[in-house]
Amino acid sequence: MDNNNQNILKKLLIGVLILVVVLAGGYFGYTYLFKNKSSISSQSGVYTCPMHPQIISDHPGQCPICGMDLVLKTKAGEEDSDHDLSNLDLNEVKLSPSQQILANVQTEKVKFRQFSGAMDFNGYIKINEKNTAHISTPVMGKIVKMYVNFEGQNVRAGQPVFELYSPDLVSTQKEYILALNNYDRIKQSLNEFAIAQAKSLVDASRYRLKQWELTNSQLDEIERTREMLETIKVYSKYSGVITKKYAQDGHWPMAGEIIYDVANLSSVWVMANVYESDVQYIKTGQNAEITSGSYPGEVFNAKINFVDPVFDAQSRTLQVRIDVSNKGGKLKPDMYVKVKINTFFTQNLAVPKNAVLRTGKMDMVYVEKEKGVYEPRTVKLGYEQDGYYEILSGLKEGETVVSTGGFLIDSESQIQQGFSSSGHEGHNTNSNNTDEQLKINPGQDIMKDMKTK
């Protein structure tokens, strides 16, 4: 065999060997890949991503594409295939685990929660009318000297406020002295009837002088000395501040004429002006916090004790009265203040604000009856505070409501039940109502595109 034939033969042998190696490698690679995939898929602990089914893992983790938690493929497949709606009540909706993840369904227990609120109003300080009084003349006469000479002066009970000359007092004192002298003479006669008559005249004269505000010590002094007092001192019966002075020295007042107004400022009234739209929140007994720019950081606490039944026609406000202790005298009449009224305080069942679907005609939440099964429930709302609604009716303590994902569940419910989504009028929470019963169509599923393939 020549050299050319030998070279051709060598090349043929080399080509055959290369072909054999390639075929063998392809066979083993094909066998390895398909058998490995088959063995993984046959395991009961295979995890996959609901959004990206091509991601397969033999242990829990997160999807490297979207970051979602991996779910058991066999469990998801079984539950998705068992997404049977025929056994559900008319108003219930069922979601598979993958649908719950895609809808970001989160739940929360219905619990009791405290609700409180406050409203701010403008106000001013007013004299407490229950602590005001008049100092007046007990009898007609002439003021010969005033001991309290200006408004704003403090007085105390028992302090002399003015000195008065009165002809009536002079004549009555004479009668008293004569009655005393007559009584002393008749006592020596031992005539009991005459003694009693004389004693009654003494008592009548003393009583009249006492009504004209002569003190017991003054009367005792007249009885001891048997001399008249040309003038008498009138004493204050009240402690407080003189808010008004009506007379001067030399004035001739009539009996009962007011000389001073006096007010005790140990407690004052705070008058808050409440606008018409806020009257519904104001009640007697509510706590109020009073602050003044004159005393930064200081709060005076009190309660509402009176709500005016009549509106102010000009300001269109309603006055609310609050009694405030003012022992330190810091709150001055006519001072402007800020009034913060705690308008409500209650403890009731509450749900997150996001759990409530508000349609304008009704308010509803979705209650988790069991894992993946949800029921719409009409509720009555109360106060809203810190991201929660007060529940007045419709729920019980311990029930579980959907706090996130309620709108997607509601959309799924509309499709499953074939109801119109306009106004949520299709929701019927009474399963006994047979007039509008609709058949469930298991073939309709708004979230079918989200299912794991």
> What are the residue boundaries of the structural domains of the chain, listed by start?
1-42, 47-79, 83-114+347-450, 119-128+265-344, 133-263
Instruction: With residue 416 as reference, give the H or E element that holds it.
Output: helix 406-417
pLDDT by residue, tens only, the chain of 453 residues? 556 666 666 666 776 667 666 565 555 445 444 444 444 444 456 777 776 666 788 888 888 877 778 877 654 444 444 445 555 566 788 887 877 787 788 889 999 988 877 889 999 999 999 999 999 999 999 999 999 999 999 999 999 999 999 999 999 999 999 999 999 999 888 888 998 999 999 999 999 999 888 888 889 999 999 999 999 999 999 999 999 999 999 999 999 999 999 999 999 999 999 998 888 889 999 999 999 999 998 999 999 999 999 998 888 899 999 999 998 889 999 999 999 998 877 888 999 998 999 888 889 999 998 888 888 999 999 888 888 999 999 999 999 999 887 777 777 677 666 543 344 444 544 444 433 333 334 444 444 444 443
Task: Say if strands 300-307 and 287-291 run parallel, antiparallel, or are unpaired.
Answer: antiparallel
Q: Which CATH architecture has domain 83-114+347-450?
A: Beta Barrel (2.40)
- pTM for the model: 0.55
Kindly tell me the burial class for residue 401, based on how many C-beta atoms sit within 10 Å of its own C-beta (0-12, 13-18, 19 or more).
buried
Looking at residue 77, its pLDDT comes to 44
Entry field: residues in the chain = 453
CATH superfamily of 119-128+265-344: Efflux pump adaptor protein, beta barrel domain (2.40.30.170)
Predicted pLDDT of residue 418: 55
pLDDT given for residue 57 in this prediction:
83
Residues whose CB falls within 8 Å of the CB of residue 334, separated by 6 or more in sequence, listed in order? 124, 125, 126
Helix ranges restricted to H, 153-265: 167-186, 192-211, 216-225
At the top level of CATH, the class of 133-263 is: mainly beta
